[in-house]
Chain A
Amino acid sequence: MIRLQNIHKSYITGTNKLHVLKGIDLHIKKGELVSIMGSSGSGKSTLLNILGLLDNHDEGVYELNNEEIKSMSETKAAKLRNNLLGFVFQSFNLISFKNAMENVALPLYYQKVSRKKRNKLALEYLDKMGLKEWAHHMPNELSGGQKQRVAVARAMITEPKIILADEPTGALDSKTSVEVMELLKEINKSGITVIIVTHENDIAHMTDRIINLKDGRIESIVENNKINNTESVQIPIQE
Chain B
Amino acid sequence: MFDLDKWQEITAALKKNKLRTILTGLGVMFGILILVTLLGIGRGFQNNIQSSLGNFATNSTVFWVERTTKAYKGLPRNRFYRFTNDDLVALKQGIPELEHIAPDINGWSGGATHNTFRNEKKGNFRIKGTSPEMNMVNPVEVISGRFINENDLKEFRKVITIGPRVKELMFEEDEDPIGQYLKVNGIFFKIIGEIKPLSNNMGNRDDIIQLPYTTLQQLYNYGDKFYVFLATAKVGESVAELEDKIFEILARRHSIHPEDNQAIGHFNIAKIFNKIFGLFNSIGFLFWVIGFGVLITGVIGVSNIMHVVVKERTKELGIKRAIGAKPALVVGQIINESVFLTTFAGFWGLVLGVVIVELIGKATEGSPNPQILNPYVDINVAFIALGVLVFFGVLAGLLPAQRAIKIKPVDALRYE
Contact = CB atoms under 8 A, between A and B. Distances in A.
Interface of A: 49, 52, 54-56, 74-75, 78-79, 81-83, 87, 89, 93-98, 106-107, 109-111, 115, 154, 158
Query: Closest 6 interchain pairs by CB?
Result: A82-B324, A110-B324, A54-B410, A55-B410, A78-B326, A54-B409
Given A87-B323, A110-B324, A110-B325, 12 more contacts: A54-B410, A54-B413, A74-B326, A74-B405, A81-B322, A82-B323, A93-B319, A93-B322, A93-B413, A111-B324, A115-B5, A158-B324
A192 to B, nearest CB: 16
A75 B324 contact: no
Given A95-B320, A109-B5, A115-B5, A79 B409 contact: no
Contact of A81 (B12, B15, B316, B324): B324
A98 B9 CA distance: 10
Contacts of B15: 97
A96 B322 CA distance: 16
Given A74-B327, A75-B327, A79-B326, A106 B320 contact: yes
Nearest to B316: A95
A97 B324 contact: no
9 contacts: A49-B410, A54-B413, A55-B410, A81-B323, A89-B413, A95-B320, A97-B12, A110-B324, A110-B326
B83 to A, nearest CB: 86
Nearest to A154: B323
Interface residues of B, number: 23
Interface string B291-317: 000000000000000000000000110
A104 B364 CA distance: 61
Contacts of A98: 12
A54 B320 contact: no
Nearest to A52: B322
A81 B326 CA distance: 10
B16 interface: yes
A80 to B, nearest CB: 9
A106 B326 CA distance: 13
B112 interface: no
B75 interface: no
A94 B323 CA distance: 11
A104 to B, nearest CB: 10
B329 interface: yes
Given A55-B408, A55-B410, A75 B326 contact: yes
A109 B327 CA distance: 14
Contact of A106 (B12, B323, B327, B413): B323
A104 B101 CA distance: 88
Contact of A75 (B5, B12, B328): B328
Interface of B: 4-5, 12, 15-16, 315-316, 319-329, 405, 408-410, 413
Contacts of A49: 410
B326 A54 contact: no
Most buried by A among B4, B5, B326: B326
A75 B12 CA distance: 25
Contacts of B16: 97
A78 B5 contact: no
Contacts of A115: 4-5
A67 B12 CA distance: 38
Nearest to A155: B323
A220 B219 CA distance: 129
Contacts of A96: 316
A78 B325 contact: yes
A109 B320 CA distance: 11
Most buried by A among B12, B319, B325, B408: B319
A93 B413 CA distance: 8
A78 B324 contact: yes
Most buried by A among B328, B405, B410: B410
Contacts of A54: 322, 408-410, 413
Contacts of A87: 322-323
Given A49-B410, A74-B405, A110-B329, A95 B319 contact: yes
Contacts of B315: 93
B321 A78 contact: yes
Most buried by B among A52, A93, A115: A93
Most buried by A among B5, B323, B328, B405: B323
A93 to B, nearest CB: 5
A78 B327 contact: yes
A89 B328 CA distance: 25
